[in-house]
A and B are shown apart, each in its own frame.
Chain A
């Protein structure tokens, strides 16, 4: 039965040539920064480092106000397992440590370390270079990658060291280097591949050594033939072309999505709720790979990254090498944005990026793109929601095979359980559905809302459960105290009763004795009487 099914699958052109179903094709005309060499952004007057720039637990600041720090010095240390430290991106003094708005759609703030640069750019050399990484122990390399603060630079910022494990149960067979460029307007990864091919491939070699994998794939979309050529050439020069291949994939969004990419390259699907490592695959972004090279071979922690600055309000869109902590407004000014009155800043690419509040925020590890958009172009996209016409386009493009129109209507009506039944949590928030929807329904926004609400409900449930247990324990305690009191009272009462009884008995006994005595006395009265009277009298007189 299953064999037959497999045969049918082989003969029929199932799916698309992209290897995953759905997806949308963007034209190249928006890649305004294609082919532009990476320019270094000048040193700003102030650098702001939020203590959390990755997914996981926030770091703990480890410098004091007024302290001098060097470039690459660790200024906040990791807390918990899924956490990576933060480093100063130039030398200078710590001006203050306080809350500052971070690039997040909520516009909320986070503890941040403000550094006033002294312009010397003096480097901290506590991490010594390990150019012969093949002879270094895997655990040490892993620790180094963690201490260098490396998290996925493709935008997800998951701490990279967590993925780099040599697991006996799920050995990693294939390492995928993601050179897809996940978002249509961004070109930073493309440019990095052209300019830093050697570093990127060395980084990949470090990963191959670390996890003990044999096979590497560099995935590049077919709209970047120059990058393909560059990678192939460099592989040959480095003598790695036997282990590592370059694979060219058709240009289709979201080809750069981790699960979609793995499916396209290996034909294996990552099961819902599992990680790529469960099927023996590891994928990293080219930028992360270069950061790993810098950390291991040069001893340089992650303090800068390449960012595509674009958008219809940026007169000089560019690929910029930016120090982490640089103000986004400063960066945009370098790219020809003069006034921030009528623009909105988008963090990330046009499909998955998040609109930021009006405040100025620093560049963080996850900033792959910064788009300055005219307010009116954003408004147009966001303000014309119409009823769903059931065209089904959204389902056709969904790479996760969901039914976005149904999901959105469940989320709209707060029917989150139903939305979960329709696999809300498999949505990768790629935005392809919103992009094609002819009714301009902000579908992906509804999914983000729904996911947030589900998480909120779960938190409330957990808290209610905890409160219930606390309240039950208190009731039990009170009942126990009451019972104990009752018990004490009972014992006291019993004692009292016993005493009373004993007393009564004694009295009775005494009485009996007295009775007996009095009887005896009565019998002896005639003889004793005068004597008794004589005894009593003086006592009465004394009283």
Chain B
């Protein structure tokens, strides 16, 4: 009968731990998917859909569920990709498309017919207008996602490059300028060499 006690003890232990875990999973339950939240926090929130998902959050959910690779966000660029790869614990992958310079949309107001279609397309609600009135874009809030271009029936929306602001200017990396200049000098040097030959 000596084997009865260990069996009882372990059965009791298993039961207690089971109850504990059940309670813990109930009381410490986190709403949503914390991993997806983390990925979402890294994404640039341009909401452009270039990743093939209807916005950043759906892409974050897909990445967190290992359904899709980490390199599909074009506006996020390499920095975002590396950060996502890091928290997902996967190998970094190259981004196929080149990220473009930051842009914002601008409506040529005198051509706008006030159809309100662009308003419906904008993922961040940054277009103001009313039926049959000129529409305009609050450029400070525009993410440059280009989603408003396509629905516009008279093609009066342009993407313009954001002007370089003095207070946002930052020093370039030291090597680049030097490298360019050195390249130039090298070109000159080579040209001189050719002449003298």
Let me know if A448 and B126 touch, CB within 8 A.
Answer: no
Contact flag A383-B181 (CB < 8 Å), given A106-B169, A460-B44, A471-B123: yes
- As a 0/1 sequence over residues 440 to 475 of chain A, the CB contacts with chain B under 8 angstroms (1 = contact) are 001001101101110111011001111110110110
**Distance of A412 from chain B, by nearest CB (Å):** 8
Let me know if A468 and B141 touch, CB within 8 A.
Answer: no
> For A385, what are the chain B residues with a Cβ–Cβ distance below 8 Å?
174-175, 178
Scan residues 145-197 of chain B and give those whose CB is less than 8 A from a CB of chain A. 164, 166, 168-175, 178, 181-182
- Per the bound structure, the CA–CA distance linking A442 and B56 in Å amounts to 39
> For B55, what are the chain A residues with a Cβ–Cβ distance below 8 Å?
471
Contact flag A467-B174 (CB < 8 Å), given A460-B44, A473-B125: no
Contact flag A471-B170 (CB < 8 Å), given A383-B182, A385-B175, A466-B141: no
Interface residues on A, range: 35 or more
Contact flag A468-B171 (CB < 8 Å), given A383-B181, A383-B182, A474-B123: no
> For B182, what are the chain A residues with a Cβ–Cβ distance below 8 Å?
383
Let me know if A468 and B45 touch, CB within 8 A.
Answer: yes
> For A24, what are the chain B residues with a Cβ–Cβ distance below 8 Å?
none
Contact flag A449-B166 (CB < 8 Å), given A465-B45, A467-B47, A470-B125: no
The main secondary structure of chain A at its interface with chain B is helix
Contact flag A471-B166 (CB < 8 Å), given A449-B174, A466-B141: no
- As a 0/1 sequence over residues 486 to 510 of chain A, the CB contacts with chain B under 8 angstroms (1 = contact) are 0000000000000000000000000
- Residue A108 is within 8 A (CB to CB) of chain B in the complex: yes
Let me know if B45 and A453 touch, CB within 8 A.
Answer: no
- Per the bound structure, the CA–CA distance linking A446 and B174 in Å amounts to 6
- Residue A382 is within 8 A (CB to CB) of chain B in the complex: yes
The answer, among A105, A449, A464, A477, for a CB contact under 8 Å with B45, is: A464
> For B61, what are the chain A residues with a Cβ–Cβ distance below 8 Å?
none
- Residue B143 is within 8 A (CB to CB) of chain A in the complex: yes
- As a 0/1 sequence over residues 36 to 51 of chain B, the CB contacts with chain A under 8 angstroms (1 = contact) are 0000100111110000
- Residue A46 is within 8 A (CB to CB) of chain B in the complex: no
Scan residues 105-124 of chain A and give those whose CB is less than 8 A from a CB of chain B. 105-106, 108, 110
> For A382, what are the chain B residues with a Cβ–Cβ distance below 8 Å?
178
- Residue B99 is within 8 A (CB to CB) of chain A in the complex: no
Contact flag A448-B171 (CB < 8 Å), given A471-B45, A471-B124, A473-B125: yes
Let me know if B141 and A456 touch, CB within 8 A.
Answer: no
Q: Which residue of A lies closest to B174 (CB)?
A: A445
Let me know if A449 and B172 touch, CB within 8 A.
Answer: yes
- Residue A485 is within 8 A (CB to CB) of chain B in the complex: no
Contact flag A110-B47 (CB < 8 Å), given A468-B40, A474-B123: no
Let me know if B171 and A470 touch, CB within 8 A.
Answer: no
Let me know if B143 and A442 touch, CB within 8 A.
Answer: no
Let me know if B166 and A467 touch, CB within 8 A.
Answer: no
> For B126, what are the chain A residues with a Cβ–Cβ distance below 8 Å?
470
**Distance of A363 from chain B, by nearest CB (Å):** 18
- Per the bound structure, the CA–CA distance linking A510 and B126 in Å amounts to 59
- Residue A104 is within 8 A (CB to CB) of chain B in the complex: yes
Chain B count of residues within 8 A CB distance of the other chain: 30
Contact flag A449-B178 (CB < 8 Å), given A108-B166, A474-B123: no
Let me know if B125 and A467 touch, CB within 8 A.
Answer: no
**Distance of B171 from chain A, by nearest CB (Å):** 4
Let me know if A456 and B168 touch, CB within 8 A.
Answer: yes
Let me know if B143 and A467 touch, CB within 8 A.
Answer: yes
Let me know if A108 and B124 touch, CB within 8 A.
Answer: no
The answer, among B164, B166, B172, for a CB contact under 8 Å with A110, is: B166
Let me know if B170 and A467 touch, CB within 8 A.
Answer: no
> For A104, what are the chain B residues with a Cβ–Cβ distance below 8 Å?
166, 169
Let me know if A470 and B124 touch, CB within 8 A.
Answer: yes
**Distance of B58 from chain A, by nearest CB (Å):** 11
The answer, among A105, A449, A455, A457, for a CB contact under 8 Å with B173, is: A449
> For B122, what are the chain A residues with a Cβ–Cβ distance below 8 Å?
474
Q: Which residue of B lies closest to A456 (CB)?
A: B170
- Per the bound structure, the CA–CA distance linking A108 and B122 in Å amounts to 32
**Distance of B142 from chain A, by nearest CB (Å):** 9
> For B170, what are the chain A residues with a Cβ–Cβ distance below 8 Å?
448-449, 451-453, 455-456
> For A463, what are the chain B residues with a Cβ–Cβ distance below 8 Å?
45, 143
Q: Which of A448, A455, A471 has the most CB of B within 10 A?
A: A471
> For A473, what are the chain B residues with a Cβ–Cβ distance below 8 Å?
125
Let me know if B166 and A468 touch, CB within 8 A.
Answer: no
**Distance of B157 from chain A, by nearest CB (Å):** 18
- Per the bound structure, the CA–CA distance linking A455 and B126 in Å amounts to 25
Contact flag A467-B124 (CB < 8 Å), given A104-B166, A383-B182: yes
What are 26 residue pairs bridging A and B, where the CB atoms are less than 8 Å apart in the complex? A102-B166, A108-B164, A108-B169, A383-B182, A385-B178, A412-B175, A442-B174, A448-B170, A449-B172, A451-B170, A452-B169, A452-B170, A455-B170, A457-B79, A463-B143, A464-B44, A465-B45, A467-B45, A467-B46, A470-B125, A471-B45, A471-B47, A471-B123, A473-B125, A474-B123, A477-B125
Q: A456-B170, A471-B55 are in contact. List 7 more A-B contacts (CB 8 A).
A: A412-B175, A445-B174, A457-B79, A460-B44, A463-B143, A470-B141, A474-B125
Interface residues of B (CB under 8 A from A): 40, 43-47, 55-57, 79, 122-126, 141, 143, 164, 166, 168-175, 178, 181-182
Sorted nearest first, the 4 A-B pairs with minimum C-beta distance are A452-B170, A467-B45, A470-B124, A448-B171
